Amino acid sequence: MNGDEIRSRLVVFAVVVLLAVTAVAAAGVITNQGSTEKPTVDQVQFQPENVDAPELERGGEISIDVPTGTETVVIDTAHANDVSKDDLQPVVSTLVADGNTVEYFDSESGGLSASPEERENELAETLEDADAYIVVEPNDRYTPGEAEIVSDFADADGRVLFVGGPDAGGGALLGLLGPMGTDTGDDGEFESVTSQFGIAYDTGYLYDMQDYENNYQTLAVTPAAETDLTDGVDHVVFDGPTQVATAGQPLLTTSPTAEHSESRETGEYPVAAQNDNAVAVGDTGFMTSENYNVADNEVFISNILEFLVSGNATPGNLGTADSPAHDPGGSNVAGSGHAEDGFPGAG
């Protein structure tokens, strides 16, 4: 290869390199001219000032203003209940400060390993000396005999409080008031005792994307009727409550914009109810130290405690032929005890 050929090839190589560099530079300019800035999120719910949850209004104390003697209130802990003693401390402290006695029913005969007869006898002996009974979200079923004993207790003017959340529901709601919820095949631990009183807990929780407190699951629920149990209550705050259906009187309901987590249907859902001597609430956290003094929670709790200690319980021999539910001259309808002191169902 002579010198002229070498020079020619070098010139060609230089031209190719120059063209390549020019093309890359041009592409960079075009790409830069065609680029856009990252989009900004302008929805109001994502703005910093709207992300921080507002503080809930707090204040007030639980009190019992009705004159009572020394009543005995029993709290069920024998059915693997989803509650701790700390959860109920505000309630227990108020009852004790008012001169009442609080006892915990925890089976001494071995719980589920005991025979049904042993469990029933133990519950009957406990409630024969009681004036009120509190059941919070049991995870073990009541035997038919145990459920009948609780019903007998209410028939004898004993007062009963049921408290449960979204995990408490079973299939009874479908049978009680028609297809209002979704039956998920729950084992019916709560239903095993509440069904005696015409009370059913739904499955799923309630939320509200329009009318809420500090998040969409924190709902302000309002009185459905003027009763002694809702006296002085403007609104109570529940966190993700569940629907409570009853053949009796709804006490608190959501706003009409509340939605069901399973059906997605909107509506005014009852979340607390009363049927004669039994009251049922669809939120387990409203009585805790964290929530008892939010909004009018303490007013509603005070009314419930006054209801619990205002009965005139005469249980007698529960679960036997001498118990009120078996009295030929009395009522054989479960939960038909007569409430007194002005509470709904009196007379």
* Residue 187, C-beta contacts closer than 8 angstroms, at least 6 positions apart: 141, 170
Residue 187's pLDDT band, with cuts at 50, 70 and 90, is low
Contact 65, 302 (CB under 8 A): yes
Structure tokens at 330: 């009395």
Q: Work out whether strand 159-163 and strand 132-136 pair parallel, antiparallel, or are unpaired.
A: parallel
Question: Tell me, which fold does domain 72-167+188-200+243-252+272-310 have in CATH?
Answer: Rossmann fold (3.40.50)
Helix, strand, or coil (residue 147): helix
User: Could you read off the pLDDT of 91-127 as tens digits, one per residue?
Assistant: 999 999 999 999 999 876 555 667 888 989 999 999 9
How many other CB atoms sit within 10 Å of the CB of residue 5? Answer: 9
Structure tokens at 218: 């924190």
Quote the percentage of the chain above a pLDDT of 90.
56
Residues 290-297, mean pLDDT to the nearest whole number: 95
Please give the average per-residue pLDDT across 19-43, as a whole number: 47
d(CA 267, CA 171) in angstroms, rounded, equals 20
Tokens (6 digits) for 140: 């073990």
| Helices and strands per DSSP (H, E), number in the chain | 8, 13
The secondary structure of 166-203 as a DSSP string is GGG--SHHHHHHSS-S-------TTHHHHGGGTEEEPS
Structure tokens at 13: 């190589």
Q: How far apart are CA 243 and CA 248, in angstroms?
A: 14
Measured over all CA atoms, what is the biggest interatomic distance in the chain, rounded to whole angstroms?
132
Tell me, what's the pLDDT at 213? 83
pLDDT digits (tens, 9 = 90+) for 128-146: 999 999 999 999 999 999 9
pLDDT at 308 over 60: yes
What local confidence, expressed as pLDDT, does residue 12 receive?
53
First to last CA, the chain: 124
Q: How high is the pLDDT of residue 31? A: 47
Looking at mean pLDDT, say which of 7-16, 27-36, 43-52, 196-205 comes out highest.
196-205
Confidence of residue 333 (pLDDT cuts 50, 70, 90): very low
Q: What is the pLDDT of residues 216-250, one digit of tens each?
A: 999 999 999 999 999 999 999 999 999 999 999 99
What pLDDT, in 10s, does the model give residues 169-184?
654 444 444 433 434 3
CA angle in degrees (0–180, nearest 5) for 14-19-24: 130
Average pLDDT of the chain, as a whole number: 79
Domain boundaries, the chain: 72-167+188-200+243-252+272-310
Tell me the per-residue pLDDT of 41-65, one tens digit each, with 9 for 90 and over.
344 444 444 445 566 778 899 999 9
210-222 pLDDT, tens per residue? 988 889 999 999 9
pLDDT band for 314, please (50, 70, 90 cuts): confident
* Residue 271 or residue 38, greater confidence: 271
For 212-238, the DSSP string reads -SSSTTEEEEEESS--TTTTT-S-EEE
List of residues 6+ apart from 143 with CB closer than 8 A: 116, 119, 120, 192
CA distances to 19, 153, 237, 274, 314 from 306, rounded to whole Å, are 93, 18, 20, 14, 18
The mean-pLDDT minimum among 15-29, 56-70, 302-316, 317-331 falls in: 317-331
| Least confident range of 53-57, 70-74, 199-203, 312-316 | 53-57
pLDDT, residue 53, reads: 54
Q: How far is CA 314 from CA 2, 272, 287, 310, in A?
A: 126, 26, 28, 13
Q: Quick check: 2 pLDDT over 70?
A: no
3-state secondary structure of 12: helix
Instruction: Using pLDDT thresholds of 50, 70 and 90, give the confidence band for residue 265.
Output: very high
Handedness of CA 131, 164, 218, 254 (dihedral sign): negative
